[in-house]
Every structure is written in structure tokens, then in C-alpha cells.
Structure 1
């Protein structure tokens, strides 16, 4: 209303300036993908996100496939929100991995496989922050392990490469030739393929001639984890990946396939009670670990490490893991040293290990990485109100006050040691503001887990005098 309008009487003008409270997003929503051939088609349609908030809600999932046991393992740890994606059952492991990976349906344009998680927030109202695919992340199937340019050829300005062979059911790699001075000097791979059981032939075509390439085959990174990484980056989520559960060497090779904070590896498998067979049976441990993280989030907070917390429902391990206090050569310690979490038995079964696969030591600890994500997402989501507002001094004060208040709240709860928010003139120039671009800076320090506790022991004779005091 204009102040120049005539009014004889009383009016009320609503002033909506001031800071807004920031609500922390749900940190422990689990994204679970797998198979359940006997599931109710209406309750659990294929390639569709379905929100499950309690064990009873999964009653129509059936008793076969990977999903029923995974859901049971999660709820053995306590309450959890799960976004369940069911994919069709396949005849071979390679075909099943491809269905889990999915993509976009060529006919309908709908997401399939793990990409269905992209629709979770729109259809279920929550975004998964812990991603698991029990039974489909432990493999290191054969794929491209290397290549040799046996002849560089001449006269190339453009070229493509096609792959043939690999055996029945193989998913072939994709790559682009690298051209230097008219010669083919190598290949840039977009995908290494998987499930390759026979030799691959690479054929280069283009406007030049003479280039030939030999392909070497070997164990490669798990394709489901590799595909999940891009989703995890976008969601600011973490992948709980199952290790191979065979040997230490195999676990170390698996670990070396990844260098991102988004991957947290757990090895070995565990035995849990199967209601289907009425006996203990081996199962992949990622579901129990995801349920544990959800329980710790609910009881302690997202900033608390899940390591050294009891995992419920474990009857044993898929391979022996020895552990002793202070023993640097125990298998548990060696696995942890190589950024692989495991389990130890000491008056119960406990998850043992804090470290992600991060190449950046700043995000080595899972709890630190998740704390940073929760704060970043919460601040971003809480400030949609700040978009398209008029840029004034009051506007800057309102936003910074909101973030400062949130940091104080987190510090009181123990989620951070301290934090601040400010406006840096260097990033808010006249040119920036005239284009509608404003920048706020904030910092915080998360609490770090006490992974190594040292007691310094001194044996002295000083206290003998107390005998005669």
C-alpha cells in the first residue's frame, strides 16, 4: 500500500524482515535398491521409489530376492526411513547389475535402477542420504584393466572406437580416441565395462588409417558403486559399499578402486537370522550398517561416529577378524588402516572403523564428512525465502543472523565446536549485486572422533614413601 494513499482510520503493515530459523534436514534416510520377485506389484511397483517407515509397511515385499532380508536387517537396528526401489529379477549376474544401475527408459523417459532415487524427494518427500545395494556392490567383475596402442596410424583429425567380443552378457566399455598430431595416442574411457569373460577387440575408425589398439582385461571397480558416486555427489549422500569378504588382499584391491569421501567400505559379510530358512545365513553387511547409522543419528546425532557402536542381530562373520587392544597387526586394525571398516566382538558385535575412501584427508572421517553435508544442505534449503528478495543492508543482516543462530544451536547440541557467518565485500562487488548475485561466507569446526587414544604409562618408585607416611 502506498503511503500517499488517503486513509482515515487504522491500518496494519506487516514487516517480514528478520532472521528465519533453520531446520536440519533428515540425515539418516536410507536409499535401498534390490530385487523382490514376489513383491506386491501395487505396493512395490518396479523402478518406483516407495517410502517405508516401519517394518510392517514392508509386509508385502515378499520373501525372495535381496530386499526382504535387507529391510529386516535395517529394522533390527531400530526405526528408520527407507526409500525402497525394486528392480526386475534377471537371469545372470551381469544382467542383474545392469538393471540395478539402470538409467532412463528409452520409451517413457522415466528413471530406472538407482537413478530412480533422483525422484525420491519429489515423490516421497525425502532425499536418501545413505545409499545401499546389498548383494550388488561387493563384486569386482572383469572389465578393461588397461590398453596399449600397438600402432598410432596417421592422418586422423576425428575418430571413434568400437568394442566387440567380451562373451555372452558382457557390458562393453565405451571410450573416445585421443588424437595428437594426427596419431591415435590412447583412449579416454567413459566406462570400463564389466562381466567380460573373453577377449575384447577395439576397432578405430576415422579419417586416418593404421591405428590399432590392444585391450587388457582384469578385475575392475564395482559398476554399481561407480554409478552411485554421481548420485551421492548430487545428494551429498554416502554409499555404504560391501567389500568382497574373501581375503585382505581382495579388500585392499577393492578399496583402491575409489578415492571419494562418498564411499564407506565394510568387510566382511555377517551372519544374520533368516526367517525364510529359520537358521543363520550369511548376508551382506551394508544394510545392518545403514540401520546402525540411522539409529546413531536418532539417538546421538548425525555428528556422532557409528564406529564402536553395537550392531544388533549378528551371529558371526563371513571370515575371521581378529582384534586385540593395542595390537597394530590385528586384522581389524590393518583393515582400518586401509580405510575399510569391519566388525569386532567384545561383549557384543561392534562396527569398527571411521574412515571413508576420501583422497582428501580433510574428509577422512565419515562423521566429519556427514556433518559438513548436513550443515551445507540445511542452510541451502532453509534459504529459499531469500531468493529474489530486494538486496538491502537489512537483507544481508537477516541472512547472516539466520546462519549465526543456526551455528549457535549446533554448538549447544555438540554438533560443531563453533561456527560463524559473514558477508565478504570482495565477493559482493557492485558488479555482482547489480547482476542479482549475493554471496555469504560461513565456517564451522565439526567434532572429530577419538580414533586413537593413548595412555602414557610411567613405572616409578616415588610412592614407596607412602608406606611410612
Structure 2
């Protein structure tokens, strides 16, 4: 019955049209790290490498700048940074440190990110005044004798200072907590990302910390919750045999998991450090994350990151035998137990190598491929968010048709894009009994098949004399 009497004509708008399903962002990396600057325990969005300057320069002991450099070496990515270092808590005091003014009038602290500094002569007196006798860059700890300084040339000095100390960070602080006011820290702060930015990270890394089983388990759990992948690094110094063994019941092993939200990365990679002018070892996870994000942007989230060249590395922690037709090669042995590694053969450059998540080889088939499970995760989440606009509307045929048609339009588009080989959404009356309908509950079904990567090729070679007859 109409709500009001009307002797005339009216128009009632009926919405039966399908709606677009917006795909969630995939090329978003969550970086849990330590930085000398920037917000603490607050998810901070970086849209490009310039935004990373807010977290300070590359300083010894801090992981943020190195990781961002590794990511952006590979190409475009959106990064959510959670810096866990709080200088009010994570600090160390040096009571006495000897230093000498060099010929350029410079001296420095042994540790960077200085919070407070006192400079005296080697005998303890006099005390020199900052701004009058010397200037200081608190981030680097570098000091410069001023023209009017009372510090003698080439003087021996004593420094007393407090500095922010990333070595004070514990696994518990990486994992984070929820305080009495509901504020999240560390990894747990990633749960706030959707409310803050409208999307959640899909590639999670904690370089330098994911080698700890106490951290890797929480990183994997968060990735599982967010529908993403956690990139877990092997501890530094493992041999190939030890890395493979760590997939089994080894004490405190961070590789002993069968969760499809985990990607296991081995070995560390060699990178030139311009600050120290040396080659240093860095975790593979940051560069693997950058490769994944860049591949998402360039090709699509349904492409495997494997067999993609890694930029910015000059070597590996340990040389690995790599030959595409050798099942006994070390890179193949690592892939065989679900470890993503680096392929480096003649003329290939350094390539990320491996298609499988950590549920391989305990599981097999589509659900073990990185690209396939990422595709399913992203489509599933996109459909959930799309459905918000229909929640609490009246249950009727128009609503059912709109939902089914919308999802089928998405599936057809993804088939056209190459993200799916096929798929279909439908409403099954048998799955929706009267009791559930009356309780406000509708069940929709859909199936889909992302294309698995071409991981193994077999050529059957036959030697034959049948073409001899062509010789006249």
C-alpha cells in the first residue's frame, strides 16, 4: 500500500542495475622498521620515494632507509611504514668517548641519531658550548669546530651523549600491543590501515626481524588476516642445506610453516652502501617486495613475481648453482621445498626465482602458487567490499540479480584482462532455504580460475630416420 493518498501521477525509481566491483589495491607494501625520524607506531603512507625522507637518512643500525631504497629500486610502490623506534625509550647513554678534532676541524660520535651531547677537553674541563665552539648534526653525530671556537686545533676531546639505539628493539615491540586506550603498535597497527587509507597492505615485510620465529609467526598471521603475503627471511649465515632443513622441525625455525600467506626468502643479498663505501648484506625480502609491487603495477597482480630481474644488488650472501635444465641445482632444490630464492646464471642477472608459498610441498595444485592465491585473495576482498552497498536492503529478486550480475561482470572483465581463465557467480535456491532467507541471510556462489604460471616445460625429443626419404 502507498504510504500516502494521491489522486494523480507519481514516479518511483527502481534500481535493478548491476554495480561496478572495484578491485582493491595490491601493490601496497607494509614495512615494519626502525627509523631515526618520523612518526612512531603510526601507519604512515608513502606514495613515492620522496615521501620516505620523512623517516630520515640511511644510518647504521636503522632498517627503514635501506628497505625503502630496496623497494623503490624495483619501481613504483605504495608503502605503509610503521616505525617502532621510540627515542624516548630505545636509547643508550655513553658516559665517556674519546674523539680527536681532525685537520678540517671535525669530530663525531661513534653512534648516530644523538639525543643529547656534551663535549669537554680530554681532561674533563673546560666544557665546550654548542653553537659557540662547535656545531652538530644530531642525526649523524658529526660536529664542526666554529671559526671563533676555543677548542684547540687537533684537540683530544671527551664526548658524553645519549643516542637512539635500534638494538634495544625487542621482538615483542615489532609484534606490537594494544594498550588500554585501544591504540595499536608495531605489526598490530596495520589493522588500522583500512580505516586510515581505505585499503590494507598486501605485501608485509620486517627486514632484519622476520628471521626471528617469534616475529615471523605474527607477521604471517597478520598477512593472513589482511589477505596478503608475509615475506620471511632466512637467518643470516645459513647454508643451502640448513635453509632446506629449516623447513622441518628445527628448534626456533622461522621457515617451519605451511601457511599459504608466507613467502620464504633465501639468501641475503649483497648491496653497495654509499654511506660506508662498502658492500653489505641485506635481507632479500625488501627487494622481493619491491619486485612484487612493481610487477603488479606493470603487468597485474595475477602475474608471478618469479623470473623477474632484481635491481640494485651486486651479489649473493652465498653463490647458488643455477641452471634451468638441472633439477639438482641449488635454486631448484630450494624451490622444491617452497623457498623463494635468486637465480643467477650466465648472462641472466639476478632474478627472483620461485612460484610457491610455504604451503608447498605439503600441499599441491593451484592453492600453492603465489600469483594464484594473491589473485583469489584480491578478488574475494573486492567482492566483500562491493557488497556493502547492498547490505540491509530489502531481500528480493532484484537484489539477487544485481549482486549476481555485478560479480559476473567483474569476472568477465578479469577474463578479458587475462587475470582469470574462467569463472561464474550464481544464486542457488537450494543453498538458500526459507529459514535462512527469513533470517536475513543470502548465500551466493562463485568459482574462478586464475592462470597458474608456466613453471615447468617438457619437450619430448624423438630421433627418427623418416625424413631420409626426402634426400634424392
TM-score greater than 0.5 by the shorter chain: yes
Checking the alignment, whether the CA contact within 8 Å between 2:210 and 2:219 is kept in structure 1 is: no
Aligned position for 2:418: 414
Post-superposition shift, 1:247? Answer: 1.0
Q: How far is the alpha carbon of 1:400 from its aligned partner?
A: 0.6
In 1, Cα distance between equivalents of 2:82 and 2:3:
57
Q: Aligned runs of 1:320-331 on 2, under 5 Å? A: 320-331=319-330
Q: Indicate the residue corresponding to 2:241 in structure 1.
A: 249
Distance in 2, Cα, partners of 1:432 & 1:351: 48
- The question of whether the paired residues in 2 share the 8 Å contact of 1:268 and 1:317 is answered with yes
Residue 194 (structure 2) pairs with residue 121 (structure 1): yes
Instruction: Give the drift of 1:253.
Output: 3.6
Give the equivalent residue in structure 1 for 2:471.
467
Q: Distance in 2 between matches of 1:323 and 1:6?
A: 81
Matches within 5 A, 1:207-218: none
Alignment of 1:395-410 (within 5 A): 395-410=399-414
Verify the 8 A CA contact 1:73 1:313 in the aligned structure 2. Answer: yes
Selected match of 2:183 from 69, 86, 110: 110
Q: Give 1:11 shift.
A: 4.9
CA–CA distance in 1 between the matches of 2:451 and 2:285?
A: 25
Tell me if 1:386 matches 2:380. no
> How far off its partner does 1:12 sit?
4.2
TM-score by length of 1: 0.77
Question: Cα distance, 1:93 vs. partner?
Answer: 6.0
- 1:361 paired to 2:358: no
Q: Partner of 1:198 in structure 2?
A: none
Number of residue pairs matched?
A: 379
1:267-310 Cα distance to aligned partner (Å, 9 max, x none): 00111232322333211010110010011111111111110111
What is the distance in 1 between the residues matched to 2:235 and 2:468? 56
Query: Is the aligned partner of 1:19 residue 2:18?
Result: yes
1:136 equivalent in structure 2: 209
1:202 matched to which residue of 2?
none
Name the structure 2 match of 1:374: 378
Paired residue for 2:350? 349
Please report how far the alpha carbon of residue 424 of structure 1 lies from its aligned counterpart in structure 2 after TM superposition: 1.6
Measured after TM superposition, the shift of residue 94 of structure 1 is 8.1
Question: Structure 1 CA distance, aligned partners of 2:232 and 2:43?
Answer: 21
Of the three residues 76, 81, 84, the one matched with 1:84 is 81
Cα distance in 2 for partners of 1:50, 1:7 equals 59
CA contact (8 A) 1:69 1:274 kept: no
SS state of the match for residue 341, structure 1? strand
Q: Does structure 2 retain, via aligned residues, the 8 Å contact 1:50–1:124?
A: no
Q: Which moved more, 1:13-22 or 1:293-302?
A: 13-22
TM superposition shift of 1:2: 3.7
Distance in 2 between residues matched to 1:95 and 1:132, nearest whole Å: 16
Instruction: For structure 1, list consecutive stretches of 5 or more residues without a partner in the other structure.
Output: 140-221
Cα separation, 2, equivalents of 1:127 and 1:437: 27
SS at match of 2:436: helix
- 1:244 deviates by 2.3
Whether the 8 Å CA contact 2:30–2:203 is kept in 1: the answer is yes
Q: Write 1 or 2 for the structure with the bigger share of strand.
A: 1
Which is greater in Rg?
2
Quote the residue 2:453 is aligned against: 449
CA distance in 2, matches of 1:456, 1:276: 53
Deviation at 1:95, TM superposition (A): 4.6
Query: What is the distance in 1 between the residues matched to 2:228 and 2:450?
Result: 17
Name the SS of the counterpart of 1:137 in structure 2.
Answer: coil
Conservation of the 8 A alpha-carbon contact between 1:135 and 1:284: yes
**Structure 2 runs not aligned, ≥5 long:** 91-164, 249-255
Cα displacement (A) at 1:45: 1.2
